[in-house]
Amino acid sequence: MTSTPTTATPVARLPRTLRSAAALAEAGLLPADPALEAIGARYAVAVTASLVAKMPVGDTEDPIARQFLPDARELDEQPQELADPIGDDAHSPVPGIVHRYPDRVLLKLVGVCAVYCRFCFRREMVGPGAEASLSDEALDRALAYVAAHPEIWEVVVTGGDPFMASARRLKELMARLAAIGHVKIVRFHTRVPVAAPERVTAALVAALRVPGLTTYVAVHANHARELDGEVRAALARLADAGVALVGQSVLLRGVNDDAGTLAALFRALVEARVKPYYLHHPDLAPGTTHFRLPVERGQELMRALRGRVSGLALPTYVLDIPGGHGKVPIGPGYIEPATEGWRVTDYCGGVHAYDPLADHTAATEPADIP
């Protein structure tokens, strides 16, 4: 059993959020290094006290620390990396809206997060330098776009992190979405229950429940150690209120790139009433080469989990195609054509013949009636 890491500075004496490499060095989490200050000038830095409490002193390769502490390798940008790796801008008809799929849109409510992941695919767009939130006028235009497109069934509220908005603003947003008759599902993408569980207040939870809408919350977590007692209590507040919870994770080198770590994460999520939904292959965001691993490795890991972990705990392994072409499943295959029918590989590696035509014939032959 993993013991709780200790920090150089007691968490009770830390400010709520550390926002620079210098502050992280003072807390004993980073070496004092001007190169790391340069990272903060390039990309936003914020690490909450809740996450600091999970990081061991001086171990920047710890799977929790690795996700949030600035790393000099972030300045090593590769030609294939993109400022907008999933093509948000190409599918943004009005500010704040991304309409990539026919029946749903993204609504970027805010541009700030409780914590900034070092592998974030929107790292060029979020942070203190970004617009803190949509202006009232911009939000009006965004919701007018949703209202004018009856094919939109789901609104995915993202950012930044929408749970950084006040409960009052979220309640107003939900009421306005409920007034658009063709919108039935509202999904929030958030890191807040993990990064700042104290923000998941009764008022915030109540704001998410509006008659006529079904609310989902997609929680981002990448390692089982993120799900401590406070985080599980925050998730329980949402689940107990009837909010459906799904999990999103990113496959990251040095964080969760082995089958045992992934199994522990997915089981921990299910135990907290969060259904693992997507395991993302890391996007081509600038300065994130040190997090990426081959697609083949991800497929190996998903194959290792199949049959050994409950289906409840298995997400879909996906790639968001660069340029805005959408997500596709990229998990391992288990069936391939044979001379007659198919060859199917079971989770133990055994190969079996499957002839659907024979099954169909047997099932449709008329029975003898005496």
Instruction: Name the residues annotated as catalytic.
Output: 100-101, 104, 113, 117, 120, 122, 283, 320, 327
| Tokens 């909010």, located at residue | 243
**CA Rg value for the chain:** 23
**Burial class (CB within 10 angstroms; exposed 0-12, middle 13-18, buried 19+) of 351:** exposed
The backbone region for 145, taken as left when phi is positive above 0, alpha when psi lies in -120 to 50, beta otherwise, is alpha
| DSSP string over 301-323 | HHHHHBTTB-GGG--EEEEE-TT
The encoded tokens of residue 369 equal: 């009636």
Cα gap 144→166, rounded to integer Å: 22
Neighbours of 359 (CB within 10 A): 11
| Tokens 């055994």, located at residue | 350
For residue 93, report the phi and psi dihedrals to the nearest 5 degrees.
-70, -30
| Among candidate residues 48, 172, 178, the one with its CA nearest the CA of residue 113 | 48
Contact 241, 209 (CB under 8 A): yes
Sign of CA dihedral 254, 264, 14, 42: positive
**180 in helix, strand or coil?**
coil
